Structure 1
Amino acid sequence: MSDKANTTPRRALIVVDVQNDYDGGNLAIQHPPFRDSVVNVARAMDAAAAAAVKVVVIKQMAPETSLIFAKGSHGGELHPEIARRSRDHYVEKTLPSAFTGTDLEAWLRANAIDTLTVVGYMTHNCDLSTIIHAVHMGFAVEFLSDATGSVPYANSAGYASAEDIHRVVTVILQSRFAAVLKTAEWVECLKTGALPERDTIYASNQRALARNAA
């Protein structure tokens, strides 16, 4: 962790799509296991509330005929651990980024938020889309890697396990788009005022080259 900066971040915790379909439903999270990651999402929400960090809950919406997140279905509803906790703002979306077609940016600007802490699902889809979108709009981003998760994919481009997808995306995010850290580390940052470590594309690449040459 870096030393405390002169300016304290004005954070909002962005809780992305923590819905029942991810909890053993039609799109069950495999890595990290949902049962573990949802505990960390809840922990982050509790820590945010205790530290007066605003909490925004995002929900993915899909037509009633959809196989996942169908309107009116159990799978499409917020997970009970998230639904029962307080929030400062609620956003429904239909595309991966929480910013597209929603009032999220306007709400963040109105509340003078400059730093987003992203948790929820999935690492490689809605989290990734939201984080990149946020960076392009000038927000600083933090990503809690144990409060999220991935599923495996197989298609015409090949196969990737949930663990591979999650690991690679977090490495990519840390290289440029977000400060990647564990929930416990983030909670400590809230207590101490320390800022999480950020990295660069160049430095990340140079370390990889040195590692490969060793």
Structure 2
Amino acid sequence: MQNEYARLPLRIRYPRLSDCLERIEQALDAAENAGIPVVCVQHAGPPGGPVFDPAGKGFELCPRIEHRLTPRWRRVVKHRGSIYAGTDLAAWLHGQGVDTVTLVGFMANNCVLASAAWGETIGLTTEVLADAVGAINLRNCAGKADARTVHATLMALLHSNWAAVATTDEWCRALGLDEPLPHSNLVASATAPAEMGMSR
């Protein structure tokens, strides 16, 4: 939710950034109305670096999120992929009695993936809102994938083990009913019919 994701080279390509931000705001509204703690995480790169320079505009929150800030939100600055690496967030969450973390924001192919996998190791259940997280195009010596493929693959991967993946609407409904999101597993994901899949 930082400005860096609205400009090159890390501009979110799928889903559309504006659509993601709408879903993020929807989730924030639902969380605050339900009295759920909100944590706002920003990534900081090296000072003077090409992206996430702590003194640069790219590090700042996008205006739509910035104007929503409240003292009730927990603020965290991280320097690695996972929101838990090198921060006190895990200890704070446990101290608050939190056992489930819902991830929204950017990027699906970095922070969301790393945080969901890390959450398993510290006893936290993770939820990912598919239409409120975004991905970028990837191309390197190991291969390439457009953002839509990256996003779809990661949502299937996460839902197979590390997270319960749902749309924001589905999450809001579950929240209103005080029900957990359905979760798959590796065996179910490996044996599901070929036509199964989320149309998101």
* TM-score, normalised via structure 2 length: 0.93
Q: Say what the alpha-carbon RMSD is for the aligned residues.
A: 1.3
Aligned pair partner of 1:103 in 81, 88, 98? 88
Inter-partner Cα distance in structure 2 for 1:127 and 1:52: 23
Inter-partner Cα distance in structure 2 for 1:113 and 1:39: 25
Q: Does 1:89 align with 2:74?
A: yes
Aligned pair partner of 1:121 in 106, 114, 118? 106
Question: 1:58 is matched with which residue?
Answer: 41
Question: 2:148 is matched with which residue?
Answer: 163
Gaps of 5+ in 2: 196-200
Quote how far apart the aligned CAs of 1:26 are. 3.4
Quote how far apart the aligned CAs of 1:206 are. 0.8
Quote how far apart the aligned CAs of 1:64 are. 2.6
Inter-partner Cα distance in structure 1 for 2:163 and 2:45: 28
Q: Does 1:146 align with 2:116?
A: no
The residue identity in structure 2 corresponding to 1:31 is: Y
Q: Secondary structure at the match of 1:146?
A: strand
Q: Deviation string for 1:106-148 (max 9, x for gaps)?
A: 1101100000001111001011001110111111111000001
Inter-partner Cα distance in structure 1 for 2:156 and 2:167: 13
Question: 1:14 is matched with which residue?
Answer: none
Q: Does 1:20 align with 2:9?
A: no
Question: 1:182 is matched with which residue?
Answer: 167
Q: Secondary structure at the match of 1:159?
A: strand
Question: 1:205 is matched with which residue?
Answer: 190
Give the share of equivalent positions with the same residue, in percent: 34
Inter-partner Cα distance in structure 2 for 1:100 and 1:76: 18
Gaps of 5+ in 1: 1-17
Q: Number of residue pairs matched?
A: 193
Q: Does 1:34 align with 2:17?
A: yes
Question: 1:192 is matched with which residue?
Answer: 177
The residue identity in structure 1 corresponding to 2:45 is: A
Quote how far apart the aligned CAs of 1:69 are. 1.0
Structure 1 residue runs of 4 or more that deviate by more than 3 Å after TM superposition: none
Q: Does 1:68 align with 2:68?
A: no
Quote how far apart the aligned CAs of 1:158 are. 1.3
Higher relative contact order (CA 8 A, sep 6+): 1
Inter-partner Cα distance in structure 1 for 2:112 and 2:51: 17
* TM-score, normalised via structure 1 length: 0.87
